[in-house]
Chain A
Amino acid sequence: MARLDLSDLCFSVGALDILRSVNLTVEEGTCLALLGPSGCGKTTTLRCIAGFVQPTSGSISFNGQPVVGVPAHKRNVGLVFQDYALFPHMTVAENVAYGLKRRSVPAAECKQRVAEALELVQLDTLADRLPRQMSGGQQQRVSLARALVIRPNVLLLDEPLGALDRKLRDQMQVELKRIQRDSGITTIIVTHDQEEALSLSDRVAVMFDGQIQEVGTPTTLYREPGSRAVMEFLGASNILDGTAVSAEQDGSHIKIRDSHTLKVSDALESGRDVQLGIRPEQFLVETESPVGRENSIAATISEVVYKGPHVELYVETEQGLRLLAQRRIRGIAAQDTFVIGQSVFLTVEPDAILVFGR
């Protein structure tokens, strides 16, 4: 177990910069999700840590010990591959014992540690199976046991749930979280799936274009993202361009498209150009005009998308402003069914609007 530090990590192939100064710290025993769109450099970062990619510059250290230059097989890093990379010609137990054999662990101890690892992932009864006789979820757990048994400095998971179907994913999410907590190993999960990132990790690092954009706990990143890009990447959002027109004691008014004015809780000097971010679920959707309330927008429904627990409403105001709102569905009352062309009123609390500089 170790604390992991990446500082000023750069990697380029020819003129192409894949990593441009990645700085990141993962505290001992915690789990960090590295989240980003494909091609953002998150897998390269992982491969740098594992030792398969030599960074062009910058440093990687485990507990303050620099490891750049140490070959992959001497780094003691546990890596769970996206395709699991189980050795098809070895049984589950042999797969798990592989790393111990390379470390010349005595047979008796090896046997015991393999048994413990398999117990941790709840596969102790399947030790003599071959990988091809197991389901995807089981293979994933073998792969995890194989990585954990060597007591790695850092555990790296590359898109761990990517190859599983929906239902299994949800199960494995819970399972993975438990195993990580029980083993207490410093973990990095690379994923492009925001739900996976938010639910599995203690902290999330959002990566764009070879750089870490923002690091924070899942809650802060979702509720109060520091930039428009992070807000847009994490979940659905409405982004509106506006200009501050007047400041008040408890906030400011922002004029959008010459037509609507929204009140936000931030104090902004007038004349400043800003961007507003509103999560769709922050809109209160009503069919009758909420007289006298601030931040209310009248609009017409242009599309209704039924999502099960909630319904997504695409609306458009008279002035042509398009917004996305969400409404949770409770009960089976007819009033919850919306139709295209219907007039609705969207209301949002001032402190539910995020303000980003432009």
Chain B
Amino acid sequence: MLVFLLAFYVIPFAEMLRVSFGFWVNDPEEVKATGTWLYQYEKAFESARTMRALWRTFELSFISVLITFLLCYPVAVMMLWLGPRIRSAVLMVVFISLAASLIVRNYGWLVVLADQGPINNLFVGLGIFERSQRLVYNEGAIIVALVHYCMPFMILPIYGALIRIPPSQWEAPRTLGANSWTTLRTVILPLSAPGIFGGTTLCFAICASAFVTPLMLGSPSTAMISQVAAEQLLVQLNFPLGSAIIFILTAFTFALVFVYAVLVRRMLRVDV
């Protein structure tokens, strides 16, 4: 397995890194240019469209992860209190949505947000909208779909962390004078930090590299960074620039996750 990953994972990435330091043969200007080995990176950082996409990617990812967390933490806590049958039913639903195709799930949102879809019809019926609104092909639709896609990836690790907390940790703060909310804030939340960390980083990685979702629910003006990179490769056939953009994304993602890990570890004294 190690050999396999070395051959088809490490080497291609190293190769891509090398390409990203090179020039694009199809561009006569570049061949002539005497730029440094960071030429493609300079070009990426100079491109307003790329930078906008990069910024949008992290902005949308951050918002989506935050909403996902706020939605999923109550689900995970609630699951602790459910009877075994309902709990396994809930877990099953979570699992099935994890396994259901991303394209299928995004399509579900295309339907829900369609011009004659339930949301539009409901709002028109209630008189909130005068007539049908275009609800898809914007950043809001991307966030909704990303949140929806990420939910199982958030619920499962948080629930996994919560069931490891002994019931006495819920009770001990109460004997010491804490009410339920204080208990949650001062003890349960910090103790579930490993699960929260796992869930949020996984979701962040998913959102930051989102490709299909913005393609289906966004528009060219809401392009995320993966799309911009893919475009360079598939449409322009500019491999060096596409590779450079991908490395910028990967580096930023890893750096953010690293900073996040250090912060969580320092603040909560929990190993994550």
Contacts and interface: CB of A to CB of B under 8 A. Distances in A.
Q: Do A and B bind each other?
A: yes
Interface residues of A, number: 28
Contact of B172 (A51, A76, A85, A130): A85
B191 interface: yes
A87 interface: yes
Given A81-B171, A83-B168, A102-B182, A89 B191 contact: yes
A130 B177 CA distance: 22
14 contacts: A73-B173, A73-B176, A73-B177, A73-B178, A76-B177, A81-B168, A83-B168, A85-B166, A85-B168, A87-B172, A87-B173, A89-B268, A90-B269, A99-B176
A40 B209 CA distance: 58
Contacts of B186: 98
B169 interface: yes
A102 B171 contact: no
Interface centre among B172, B173, B176, B179 (most CB of A within 10 A): B176
B191 A98 contact: no
A85 B171 contact: yes
B176 A146 contact: yes
A92 to B, nearest CB: 13
Contact of A89 (B173, B174, B175, B269): B269
A103 B177 contact: yes
Nearest to A87: B187
A150 B177 CA distance: 9
Tell me the dominant secondary structure on chain B's binding face. Answer: helix
Given A79-B175, A82-B168, A89-B269, 20 more contacts: A52-B171, A72-B174, A73-B177, A79-B171, A79-B172, A83-B166, A85-B169, A85-B171, A85-B172, A87-B172, A87-B173, A87-B191, A88-B191, A89-B190, A98-B178, A102-B173, A102-B177, A102-B182, A147-B176, A150-B177
Given A88-B191, A89-B190, A89-B191, A51 B169 contact: no
B261 to A, nearest CB: 16
B172 A73 contact: no
Contacts of B168: 81-83, 85
A103 B176 CA distance: 9
B179 A73 contact: yes
Nearest to A147: B175
A90 B269 CA distance: 8
Nearest to B190: A89
A74 interface: yes
Interface in A25-68: 50-52
A73 B177 CA distance: 4
A78 interface: yes
A77 interface: yes
Given A89-B191, A89-B268, A98 B174 contact: no
- Interface-centre pick from A77, A78, A81, A146 (highest chain B CB count, 10 A): A81
B269 A130 contact: yes
A32 B215 CA distance: 70
A76 B182 CA distance: 16
B257 to A, nearest CB: 21
A99 B174 contact: no
Nearest to A150: B176
Given A83-B166, A83-B168, A85-B169, A77 B187 contact: no
Contacts of A76: 177
B174 A73 contact: yes
A102 B176 contact: yes
Contact of B175 (A78, A87, A103): A78
B262 interface: no
B270 interface: yes
Contact of A87 (B169, B171, B174, B193): B169
Nearest to B177: A102
Interface in B205-227: none
Nearest to B187: A87
A51 B174 contact: yes
Contacts of B178: 73, 98, 102
A13 to B, nearest CB: 14
A147 B171 CA distance: 13
